[in-house]
């Protein structure tokens, strides 16, 4: 369905139906398609990351590996490149990096007074069938948030049939973002509610029998007003809780996505250690899935793009999270990211002075080992290491090395920069806009360096 130029009779009928309060994903998809060419023309728009053809996206939802496909749904505003009118967009992949865009999967049920379909998950029920859980947000003043469910109408998970009513007992007016995880023979469901992560359980694994179990974790530092998008996954024999905090106004800009590592004792998390998944607030709203090899993969929304270009938002490259004795956890790009590398990398090894490695394009994957201070430019993005701080796009982040060289993995896709420093103990995701992007690779500094740089496509 296209809506370039005047509306066809069918499109006019869909528009009328939408305005009359009937749910339709077709009308929403029409608006996305109409702005695809404009979005694609933006030279700062990532080429290798997952994002819709146009318009706004945010949180990854319903991340699941099913029947040989990785499915990712996501918060999507088909009608603008800012937040609003939350639908669920949809894409799938065989390998986690090369994505096929699919039609919008879920639109607000306007006839029932639903304004937004907020975040949630897709999980297997006790009988193996899939169920989608999401937070239903009504028009203002009508009712509190509710957790609702839908079942797939087709094998490709393109269309969904809502089930009647709420599937979880209400708790607070704004509780949201259901997340299902199997843990120790139990089927647990997490919800964010204020500074708390609530715990529910699906009795007998049935997602139509979800009962409250109390508070899994509470933030008491005053630095968290709301725990959005809670996730729970096993790391190194412990429980790793992720949540995306809405900070008090005076703490705006503090790095987002907190992690808490500890043990799950009954219905309560006993924290042992904590930190921040990323050192910049451009990475937000994590979600997880289990890949074909049984590894737990973390996905997240990259935010901070300039509005007015017909699009905004993408997902970061998929990450693996591992236990680390020194830092608690460390992260690395999923091995599937290597599939985007093109043959014939640029290579440098030796004493640094001022090195020009050549042209590598506006999307690159670099592995570096730095034995001394160094400044570099990758796909136009400036980075620098002074022995204690790593500067990415003009902002500096401490990297406390225990000794030895600094090892970096740097992924640049036009304006999106993801840096994994010190073997992933420090991770920085940024949106860095560069005027007149220079696509040559430059290194300068003192000491020895080894660099391998691949073009991404």
Catalytic residue numbers? 59
The arrangement of strands across the sheet holding 114-124 comes to 114-124, 130-138, 146-152, 160-162
Which tokens hold the place of 456?
């991404």
Q: How far, rounded to the nearest angstrom, does the alpha carbon of residue 448 sit from its chain's CA centroid?
A: 36
Instruction: For residue 32, give the H/E element and its range.
Output: helix 25-34
Report the 10 Å Cβ neighbour count for 12.
Answer: 12
Which tokens hold the place of 153?
């109408």
Helix H, strand E, coil C: the string for 327-396 is CEEEEEECHHHHHHECCCCEEEEEECCEEEEEECCCEEEEEEEECCCEEEEECCEEEEECCCEEEECCEE
Going from the C-alpha of 299 to that of each of 27, 327, 338, the distances in angstroms are: 28, 20, 17
**What residues form DSSP beta bridges with 131?**
123
Which tokens hold the place of 364?
């690159």
- Could you tell me whether strands 210-218 and 99-106 are parallel, antiparallel, or unpaired per DSSP bridges? unpaired
Phi, psi of 132 (to 5 degrees): -100, 125
Q: Are 13 and 30 within 8 A, CB to CB?
A: no
Closest by CA to 192, choosing from 125, 118, 300, is: 118
Phi, psi of 370 (to 5 degrees): -115, 125
Q: Which residue do the tokens 């790593």 mark? A: 390
Which tokens hold the place of 373?
């201070």
Exposed/middle/buried for residue 15 (C-beta within 10 Å: 0-12, 13-18, 19+):
middle
Going from the C-alpha of 276 to that of each of 103, 153, 240, 317, 331, the distances in angstroms are: 34, 39, 12, 18, 12
């Amino acid at each position: 369905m296209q809506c370039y130029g005047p509306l066809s009779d069918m499109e006019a009928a869909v528009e009328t139906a939408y305005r009359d309060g009937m749910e339709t994903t077709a009308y929403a998809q029409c608006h996305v398609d109409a702005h695809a060419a404009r979005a694609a023309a933006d030279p700062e728009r990532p080429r290798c990351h997952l994002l819709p053809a146009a318009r706004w996206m945010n949180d990854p939802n319903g991340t699941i590996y099913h029947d040989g496909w990785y499915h990712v749904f996501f918060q999507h505003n088909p009608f603008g490149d800012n937040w609003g009118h939350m639908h669920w967009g949809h894409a799938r992949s065989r390998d986690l990096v090369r994505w096929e865009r699919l039609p919008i999967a879920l639109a607000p049920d306007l006839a029932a007074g639903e304004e937004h379909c907020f975040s949630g998950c897709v999980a297997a029920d006790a009988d193996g069938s899939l169920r989608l859980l999401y937070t239903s947000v009504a028009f203002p003043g009508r009712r509190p948030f509710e957790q609702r469910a839908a079942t797939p109408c087709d094998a490709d998970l393109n269309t969904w049939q809502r089930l009647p009513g709420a599937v979880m007992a209400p708790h607070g007016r704004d509780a949201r973002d259901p997340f299902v995880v199997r843990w120790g023979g139990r089927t647990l469901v997490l919800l964010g509610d204020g500074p708390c992560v609530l715990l529910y359980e699906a009795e007998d694994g049935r997602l139509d029998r979800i009962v409250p179990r109390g508070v899994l974790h509470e933030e008491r530092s005053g630095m968290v007003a709301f725990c959005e998008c809670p996730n729970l996954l096993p790391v190194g024999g412990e429980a790793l809780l992720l949540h995306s905090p809405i900070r008090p106004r005076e703490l705006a800009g503090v790095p987002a996505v907190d992690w808490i590592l500890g043990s799950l004792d009954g219905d309560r998390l006993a924290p042992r250690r904590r930190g921040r998944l990323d050192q910049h607030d451009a990475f937000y709203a994590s979600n997880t899935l289990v890949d074909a090899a049984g590894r737990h993969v973390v996905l997240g929304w990259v935010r901070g793009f300039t509005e007015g270009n017909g699009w905004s938002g993408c997902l970061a490259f998929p990450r693996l999270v591992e236990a680390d004795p020194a830092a608690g956890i460390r992260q690395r790009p999923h091995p599937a990211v290597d599939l985007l590398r093109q043959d014939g990398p640029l290579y440098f090894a030796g004493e640094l002075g001022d090195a020009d490695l050549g042209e590598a394009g506006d999307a690159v994957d670099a592995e570096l080992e730095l034995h001394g201070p160094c400044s570099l430019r990758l796909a136009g993005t400036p980075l620098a290491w002074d022995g204690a701080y790593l500067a990415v796009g003009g902002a500096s982040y401490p990297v406390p090395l225990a000794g030895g060289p600094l090892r970096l993995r740097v992924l640049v896709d036009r304006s999106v920069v993801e840096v994994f420093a010190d073997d992933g103990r420090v991770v920085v995701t940024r949106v860095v806009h560069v005027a007149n992007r220079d696509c040559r690779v430059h290194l300068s500094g003192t000491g020895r360096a080894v660099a391998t740089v691949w073009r991404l496509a």
